[in-house]
Amino acid sequence: MESTAHVATAASQPRYSATAIGLHWIIALLIVGGFYLGWIMTDIPGFTPTKLKYFSWHKWIGVTVFALAVLRLLWRVTHPAPPLPGGMPRWQQGAAHLGHLALYVLMLVIPASGYLYSSAAGLQVVYLGVLPLPTIIGPDKALKATLRLVHIALNYTLLFFVVTHVLAALKHHFVDRDGLLARMLPFLR
């Protein structure tokens, strides 16, 4: 029989703030949507109206993720995360901190790489179809090819970290039962 001293309930764990939870899930949904659009739009042959629409949406999602990630990072600096559960092995604590750092860096670097990729391709990003964003670099075929590969590689790196993040959260919820996942779910208390 398992000792209740080692199992934390969701109610006994400190939670993230409502702002942090909201930003987390909005950004997560946008990332999933942006990845999905990126996946399907690149398989559409030629330059069809649908493909161009998907590219625009993908860019808008990227700009939004970047802005929300900056806001989330500022929130995190001023509102520290609740402490990890007591008894969590140090290697897991270190992995959690490194994983979160990687996610924050990727949420900023991926949209930046996509933005630079668009600039190198000679395509200005017009946010939501109404706000033209400044072009940082001019058209450059060689740089465009490099930035395309960087953008793709960074996205697959993000996919790895997101999957690892989700699997770790599920492990803590179903195996460790330490209340960790409930800290970030709006419907678990």
Q: What is the pLDDT of residues 74-114, one digit of tens each?
A: 999 999 999 998 889 999 999 999 999 999 999 999 999 99
Task: Tell me: pLDDT of 187 over 90.
Answer: no
The domains of the chain, with CATH numbers, are 14-183 (1.20.950.20)
Q: Residues 135-176: pLDDT tens digits?
A: 999 999 999 999 999 999 999 999 999 999 999 999 999 999
The upper half-sphere exposure of residue 1, i.e. CA atoms within 13 Å in the direction of its Cβ, equals 3
CA 66, 71, 76, 77 dihedral sign is positive
Would the pTM count as exceeding 0.75?
yes
pLDDT (0 to 100) of residue 3: 39
Scanning the chain, the segments in alpha helix (DSSP H) are 18-41, 49-78, 90-120, 141-171
